[in-house]
């Protein structure tokens, strides 16, 4: 829906990625050991991640990543129609980058597995420097094939396919300013809703004035997103990053996000980062918090992520770079801690756990905290 994942991207890479984006070079040999934690809205998600990247020849770099989500959920949806649950998701990725003159070719495979969901994704990308290495254009494609299950019905099995295309252009405008534009188009087909979710509809015979029935989504979804980014290096070695992203899809959702990050280095190896992000989206055409009657529309949803809502994020990060030789055989190492506080406010999704009449419950909102602690080493 246009929202970015707030847990899985180490923020230290922002300045490094932008500073190297304009040169056709392989990523540096490095390893990252990460612990992440999300707590908000009745859900707790924690787990480790390990990433290792190694150059095996002057023109080839390979990497592997292992990532775990341990989920414990008693969210508003679970409280309304189900019981609290716990589950574990594991994700494994491997990839290779190949450097040929001013071009970098990338190929990766990702497998994600949990009790009721299996996902496999193959991705390919190419980037090319031109105009004296001041410009870089990138093309990417990925194909995902998922199998959706249901823990309450062993016979339930549905397929979902995802195709993702992206085009990017990065340009050095001045010695202090880098800008980029990224366009992404996604085609989803197959079973796109959650087998556990329900919608509610008015029912005078029910105790609280409403009853539940299963959600029903379209079997296709096309979405497009355009991101504009700028990174400006300030005279005193600090950096300011600005980003705007616009998203729209065939379900009627339109979303906009704005983000600003300020990174400031201090003496003795310390680095601080401050972040603010605002996000707003409209609801899907077939979304309703309370339908008038059973099977009121051809498609129907009450997933709060398809409702009209907004969020605001403030973030703080600190990184410390150890002196050379602190870890034997390591060229450089950093310890990083990042914290985000997110406020979610829903415009047409109501808190059904209250005692108010159907359709008069208070609008739902919640706060969440995200923590990422990780060690990075370059060797």
pLDDT at residue 33, rounded to an integer? 98
CATH label of the domain that carries residue 99: 2.40.160
Q: Is the pLDDT of residue 207 over 90?
A: no
Q: Is the pLDDT of residue 49 over 90?
A: yes
Mean pLDDT of 53-61: 94
> Is residue 307 within 8 Å of residue 347, measured between CB atoms?
yes
Flag whether 34 is in a domain: yes
The total number of structural domains that make up the chain: 1
Buried (b) or exposed (e) across 175-206, using 16+ Cβ within 10 A?
eeebbbebebebebebbbbbbbbbbbbbbeee
pLDDT at residue 23, rounded to an integer? 57
Flag whether 3 is in a domain: no
Compute the distance between CA of residue 231 and CA of residue 15 in angstroms, rounded to an integer: 8
Q: What is the Cα gyration radius of the chain?
A: 23
Flag whether 7 is in a domain: no
User: pLDDT-based confidence at 6, cuts 50/70/90?
Assistant: very low
Flag whether 1 is in a domain: no
pLDDT at residue 74, rounded to an integer? 87
Compute the distance between CA of residue 81 and CA of residue 374 in angstroms, rounded to an integer: 37
Instruction: With CA atoms as reference, report the closest residue to 234 among 315, 174, 294, 153.
Output: 174
Percent of the chain at pLDDT above 70?
A: 94
Flag whether 9 is in a domain: no
Give the distance from CA 115 to its chain's centroid.
21
Q: What share of the chain is helix, strand, coil (3-state, %, to 5)?
A: 5, 65, 30
Q: How far is CA 297 from CA 56, 218, 338, in A?
A: 57, 12, 44
pLDDT in tens, 286-333: 999 999 999 999 999 999 999 999 999 999 999 999 988 788 888 899
pLDDT in tens, 248-280: 999 999 999 999 999 999 988 999 999 999 999
pTM, to two decimals: 0.90
Flag whether 260 is in a domain: yes
Q: Is the pLDDT of residue 197 over 50?
A: yes
Q: Is 190 helix (H, G, I), strand (E, B) or coil?
A: strand
Q: Is the pLDDT of residue 7 over 70?
A: no
Domain with 143 in it: 14-378
- For β-strands 117-130 and 103-114, DSSP reports them as antiparallel
CB atoms within 10 A of CB 80: 14
């Amino acid at each position: 829906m246009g929202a970015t994942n707030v847990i899985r991207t180490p923020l230290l890479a922002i300045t490094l990625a932008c500073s190297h984006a304009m040169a056709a070079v392989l990523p540096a040999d490095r390893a990252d050991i990460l612990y992440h934690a999300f707590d908000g809205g009745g859900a707790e998600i924690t787990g480790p991640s390990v990433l290792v990247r190694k150059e095996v020849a002057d023109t080839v770099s390979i990497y592997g990543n292992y990532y775990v989500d341990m989920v414990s959920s008693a969210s508003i949806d679970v409280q309304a129609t189900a019981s609290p649950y716990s589950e574990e998701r594991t994700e494994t990725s491997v990839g290779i980058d190949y450097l040929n003159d001013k071009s970098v070719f990338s190929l990766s495979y990702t497998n994600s597995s949990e009790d009721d969901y299996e996902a496999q994704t193959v991705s390919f990308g190419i980037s090319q420097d031109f105009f004296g290495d001041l410009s870089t254009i990138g093309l990417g494609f990925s194909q995902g094939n998922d199998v959706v299950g249901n823990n309450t019905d062993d016979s339930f099995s549905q397929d979902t396919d995802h195709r993702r295309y992206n085009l990017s252009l990065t340009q050095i405008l001045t010695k202090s300013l880098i800008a980029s534009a990224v366009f992404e188009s996604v085609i989803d087909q197959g079973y796109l809703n959650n087998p556990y979710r329900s919608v509610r509809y008015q029912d005078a015979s029910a105790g609280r004035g409403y009853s539940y029935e299963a959600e029903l989504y379209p079997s296709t979804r096309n979405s497009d997103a355009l991101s504009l980014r700028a990174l400006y290096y300030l005279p005193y070695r600090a950096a300011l990053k600005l980003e705007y992203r616009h998203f729209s899809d065939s379900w009627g959702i339109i979303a906009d996000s704005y983000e600003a990050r300020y990174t400031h280095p201090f003496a003795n190896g310390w680095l601080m980062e401050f972040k603010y992000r605002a996000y707003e989206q409209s609801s899907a055409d077939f979304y309703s918090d309370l339908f008038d009657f059973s099977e009121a529309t051809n498609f129907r949803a009450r997933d709060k992520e398809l409702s009209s809502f907004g969020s605001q994020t403030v973030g703080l990060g600190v990184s410390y770079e150890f002196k050379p030789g602190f870890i034997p055989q390591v060229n450089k190492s950093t310890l990083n801690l990042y914290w985000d506080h997110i406020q979610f406010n829903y415009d047409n999704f109501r808190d059904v756990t209250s005692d108010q009449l159907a359709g008069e419950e208070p609008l739902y909102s919640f706060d969440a905290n995200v923590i990422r602690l990780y060690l990075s080493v370059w060797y």
